[in-house]
Structure 1
Amino acid sequence: MDRWQAMRIFVKVAETESFAETARLMHMSAPAVTRAVAALEELIGARLFVRTTRSVKMTEAGARYFEDCRRILSDIAEAEAAAAGSYATPTGTLAVTASVMFGQMYVLPVMTEYLDSYPTMSGRTFFIDRPVNIVEEGVDVAVRIGHLPDSGFTATRVGSVRRVVCGSPAYFEKHGVPVTPMDLKEHRIAASTSAWASPEWRFARDQRVVVEAALQCNTNEAAITTAKEGWGLTRVLHYQIGPALIAGDLQIVLAEHEEPPLPIHVVHPEGRYAPAKVRAFVDLAVSRLRANRLFN
C-alpha cells in the first residue's frame, strides 16, 4: 500500500480510536485498515497502538508519529489544493455547527451571506445543543459557547455571553424584583431542562440556589415565552432574549450577582492549512460576531 495512504489511515485510526470506524469513514474493509497500520509499524520499527477488545490507544511512539504524520499530510494536501486552486477560491460544501438558538439567530445569517458571496458553494448547518465531534462528523467550522478543552484546533474568540435571570415588566410590577439570588425562592420559576440547564443556579462569589421550578420547559424558547407572558422568571443565556430585551418585553435582574461571562469561539481543525472555503467563512463569521454589540 502507498505510504501516504497508510499514514492517512493511521491518522484516522488515532483520531477515531477505532479500526472499524476508520474502515467505515474511509470506505475500506477492517482487515485492510489493520494491514496498513501493521505495515507502518513494521516499516518504522515501533508499535503505534495498544489494542484491546474495548479500546485503541496510541503508544508514546505513536503519539509522536501522529503529530509528524498530520504535519506531513497537511503539507501534501496544501500543495495539491494549491495546484488545483481550491486554496485560492472556495469550492465544495461547507458544514457548520452551533447550539440551536445561537445557530438559528446568529450563525445562519452569516452562512446565507457567505453563500450569497460564493454562489458555487453549498452549505450544511448542524445546530444541536451538544458538543459535536468535528472530525468524526465531518464538520468544517464550529461556533462554541463556553470554555474549550485542549483539542489542538484553531480557536478565535469573538465575544462572550452572560447567563441571566429575567422576567417581564408586568411580572415585576406585580411580584417585585429579586435583590439577591436567595430571593428567587420567593418567585415563580419557569426553568429550561435543555442540555445546558441545571436545577442549581450558580452566581458570583460562590452563591448557589437550588431552584424548585413551578414549570419545567424542555426548550429555552418555551421558558422565554412563559417569562415574556408574565407568568414567572427564567434563566437563559442573554443572547437568547436579545430581541425581547430590545422590545422591552423582558428585563434582566440580579445582574450584579452574575457569574463571569462564557466565551464564544469560532473553531476549526486545519489551522493555517485550512482551505479557502473555511478561511473565507471564518473571516466573515469573526467579523460579523465581533461587530455584534450583544457579545461585547
Structure 2
Amino acid sequence: MSHHREMQVFLAVAQAGSLAAAARALQLSQATVMRTVAALESRLDSTLLLRGPRGVSLSPAGAAFADSCQRILQRVEEAERSVTGLHASPAGQLTLALPLLMTHQVLMPIAVDYLAAFAEMSLTTLAHEEPPRLLEEDIDLAVVVGHLPSSSGFAVPLGQVRPLVCAAPAYLARRGRPVSPDDLPAHRTIATSSTGHAGEWRFAEGPIKLAPRLICSTPQAAIRAALAGFGLTRCLSYEAHQELQTGQLLTVLEDFAAAPVPVQLYYREGRRAAARVRSFLDFAVPRLRAHPAFQA
C-alpha cells in the first residue's frame, strides 16, 4: 500500500477514534485497516495508536502525525484540483446546518451570492442549534457556535461571537440602564428556556440568579419581546446583529460580559463530496470571516 494511502487510512482511524468506524467510512474491511496501521507503525518504528477495551486513542506521536497527515493530504487534494479543475464548475446538492437566527442574520446574502456564482449547485439549509452528526444526518457542512466535541470532521475557524445583554431604547429610557449584574433582579428580564439557563445569566465574574418575567422557548422570541420594549434579554451577538446595528436594541453591562465564543465551519471530507464542499468553503469562508457579526 502506498504511503499516501497509509496516511489516508491512519487519518480516518484518528478522526473516527475507532477501527470499525474508519473501516466503514473507507469501505474497507477492519482487518485491512488494522494491517495498514500496523505496517505504518512498523515502518515508522513508532506507536501511533493506543489500543484499549473502549477503542483506540492517539499516542502523542500519533496525534502529531495525524496533524501532519491532514495538512499533507489537503495539499495533495488542492494540487490535484488545480490540475483537473475539479471544482471549477461543481454541480449537485449541498446541505448546510446552522443555528436558525444565523441563517437570517448572516448567511442568506452569502448563500444567494454563492448560488449565483455556481449555477449548477443547489443548497439546503437546516436549523441546527447543536453540533450535528454530519455522516449520520447526511449533512455536508455545519456552522457551529462553541467548541466542537471530538469528532471525525474538519473545522475552519470563522471568528467569535459574544454573549450580551440588550434592550430596546424605550425600555432603558423608562427603567434606566443597569450598572452591574447585581442590578438585574430589579429589572424585567426575558429568558430563553432552550439555553438551559433560564433562571440564571452568566457573566465574567459568575452567574446571577434571576426570576424572569417572561421565559421564551427560542432566542428569536425573546429578542422580539425585547424589541417590543418589555425588558432585558441575554443572547449571543449574532442573534440580534441587525437589531444592534440599526439601534433597535442597545447593549448594557458590556464590561461584565462572559468570554467570547468561537464560531467554526465544520465539514466532512469525502472523495465524492469534495468538489461541492470545497466550492462552498472557498467562496463562503472569506465572506463569513469578514462579517461583522463574527468580530467579537
| TM-score with structure 1 setting the length | 0.73
List per-residue Cα deviations over 1:28-48 (Å, max 9, x = no partner): 343443343344445555443
Following superposition, the deviation at residue 275 of structure 1 comes to: 6.2
Provide the secondary structure at the position in 1 that maps to 2:24.
helix
Report whether the alignment pairs 1:9 with 2:9: yes
1:238 corresponds to which residue? 237
Aligned length: 290
Paired position in structure 1 for 2:108: 108
Contact 1:227 1:233 in 2 (8 A): yes
Structure 1 match to 2:66: 66
Residue equivalent to 1:166: 166
- In structure 1, what is the Cα distance between the partners aligned to 2:178 and 2:280? 46
> Secondary structure at the residue paired with 1:194?
helix
State the SS of the aligned residue for 1:212. Answer: coil
Moved more, 231-240 or 131-140: 131-140
Match runs of 1:130-141 below 5 Å: 130-132=130-132
> 1:18 is matched with which residue?
18
Q: The residue matched to 1:104 in structure 2 has which SS?
A: helix
Spell out, residue by residue over 1:250-284, the C-alpha distance to the aligned partner (whole angstroms, 9 max, x if none): 443334544565565667799xxx96963664454
Task: Render the CA deviation track for 1:185-211: whole Å, top value 9, x for unaligned.
Answer: 11232211334856443446x364222
CA-CA distance at 1:58 after TM superposition: 2.2
**For the residues of structure 2 that align with 1:293 and 1:4, how far apart are their CA atoms?**
40
Check if 1:28 corresponds to 2:25.
Answer: no
Moved more, 170-179 or 16-25: 170-179
**Aligned runs of 1:1-296 on 2, under 5 Å?**
4-86=4-86, 88-90=88-90, 93-132=93-132, 143-145=143-145, 154-157=156-159, 160-169=160-169, 171-172=171-172, 175-195=175-195, 197=197, 199-203=199-203, 206=205, 208-245=207-244, 250-259=249-258, 261-262=260-261, 264=263, 278=278, 281-287=281-287, 290=290, 292=292, 295=295
- Contact 1:169–1:250 at 8 Å: present in 2 too? yes
What SS does the corresponding residue of 1:201 show, helix, strand or coil?
strand
The residue type paired with residue 108 of structure 1 is M
Partners of 1:165 and 1:62 lie apart in 2 by 44
In structure 1, runs of 5+ residues without a counterpart are none
Structure 1 pair 286–148 and aligned structure 2 pair: CA distance change class (3 A): farther
Residue 106 of structure 2 contacts residue 291 of structure 2 at CA under 8 Å; is this kept in 1?
A: no
User: Aligned-pair distance for 1:221?
Assistant: 1.4
**Letter in structure 2 aligned against 1:220:** P
SS in 1 for 2:215: strand
- CA distance in 2 between counterparts of 1:282 and 1:15 reads 23
Uncovered stretches (5+) of structure 2, i.e. residues with no partner: none
Alpha-carbon spacing, 1:229–1:85, altered in 2? closer, same or farther (3 Å): same
Question: Deviation of residue 107 (structure 1)?
Answer: 1.5
Aligned 8 A contact 1:164 1:237 in 2: yes
Alpha-carbon RMSD: 4.1
User: What is the SS of the residue equivalent to 2:290?
Assistant: helix
Write the distance in 2 (CA, Å) between the matches of 1:57 and 1:288.
Answer: 34
Contact 1:156 1:265 in 2 (8 A): yes
1:136–1:67 distance in 2 versus 1, CA, 3 Å: farther
Cα distance in 1 for partners of 2:196, 2:35 equals 43
SS of equivalent residue, structure 1 residue 213:
coil
Do the aligned partners of residues 247 and 6 (structure 1) sit closer, same or farther apart at CA in structure 2, a change above 3 Å counting?
closer
Aligned AA (1:228): L
Cα drift, residue 57 of structure 1: 1.1
TM-score, normalised by the number of residues in structure 2:
0.73
Q: Identity across aligned pairs (percent)? A: 33
